[in-house]
Amino acid sequence: MIPRRHFLRGLGGVVVGLPFIEALQPKNANAAGYPPFVIFMRQANGCAQDTGDEPERFWPYELGALTPDGLSAQTDRALSVLGPYANQLLAVDGLNYAFDSSGCGHTGGSTQCLTAARPTDQPDDGPDLADGESIDTYIARQLHPEGVEPLTLYGGKTGYSGGIGVISYRAPFQQRAAVTSPFNAYMDLFGLSNLSPEALEQLKAQRKSVNDLVRSGMQRLLARTDLSKADRERLDLHFTAIRDLETVTACELPDADIAAMEAMGDGYDESDNVIAVVKMQMDVLALACACGVARAATLQVGYLGDNTQYTIFG
């Protein structure tokens, strides 16, 4: 049986998951690909489509296969910006949620998005909650070690009760709180949030990477003679990705960028910061799946009815 994960364990209890490495699998294992993972992303407020006095500006003009040239040419459609990825897209129209919400449609949509369960009004006049667990919870129960929850991240404006975790549910009426800070998500990912403040400050002062903390294990792994060229390329990409994300979250950037990050402070839900924060959260998601730390994850952008104000070309 293939182990669910392989890890490198380093100083201070830091744990780094490894990508799929053929040499670490049993001889009778099928090493044809990576272990499965799934990421669900929801952007609040739906899309610009023909509803009431709202014009149609989202869907491609015709049903059928999407092509890069065809989709890119439809410049008055929102999906045209994804033209280069058209061969990897499915745009599914005509879906309707099974249950009405006692509040607004944004509430009912967010509760049913991953649960397919009836939204139930709460007595405290808060938002509806779903009467069921979400599918990321079910998948994590099948693919994660026992007790390891799905990764739940959030970017953008916050709303009701902090507006956090509105699509992920542990169980009926039990919303899962999401992590809003990319830096905190990264720290949790590698167990760095468990280090003592003194150890963490020492780590920062020495400007060490997580890779440095597992270097001895990394060197032993790379010294194996049974690693294939593909295995070595995966490991190189893996550790490079870890370092690249650290560079972003640690603000090892040009002075102007560092100043901008410092000025942001805790303003992760400020309109001007939303796009930058969401990109960082996407990097964390990609790294978590590549490291084998998460097989089920969610990213929500904006709360039930997002009111982010985007400034585009002035």
Considering only residues 78 and 268, tell me which one the structure prediction assigns the higher pLDDT: 78
DSSP state of 286: H
The CA distance from 208 to 215, in Å, is 11
> Which of 76-80, 111-115, 265-269 is least confident?
265-269
pLDDT at 85: 96
Kind of pairing between the strands at 15-17 and 7-9: antiparallel
Q: Residues 280-307: pLDDT tens digits?
A: 899 889 888 887 788 899 999 887 777 7
User: Residues 2-28: what's their mean pLDDT?
Assistant: 65
Residue partners of 59: CB distance under 8 A and separation at least 6: 49, 77, 79, 91, 93
User: Residues 226-244: what's their mean pLDDT?
Assistant: 84
pLDDT at 72: 96
pLDDT at 186: 84
Alpha helices in the chain (DSSP H): 68-72, 105-112, 135-143, 182-189, 197-205, 210-213, 215-222, 229-249, 255-264, 274-290
pLDDT at 264: 55
Question: Would you list the domain boundaries of the chain?
Answer: 1-28+196-265, 36-181+274-285+292-314
The CA distance from 246 to 82, in Å, is 28
The CA distance from 19 to 2, in Å, is 13
pTM score, two decimals?
0.78
Task: At 45, list the tokens.
Answer: 């407020």
The CA distance from 39 to 300, in Å, is 11
The CA distance from 165 to 300, in Å, is 7
Among 144, 112, 136, 201, which Cα is nearest to 17's?
144
**pLDDT exceeds cutoff 80 at 111:** yes
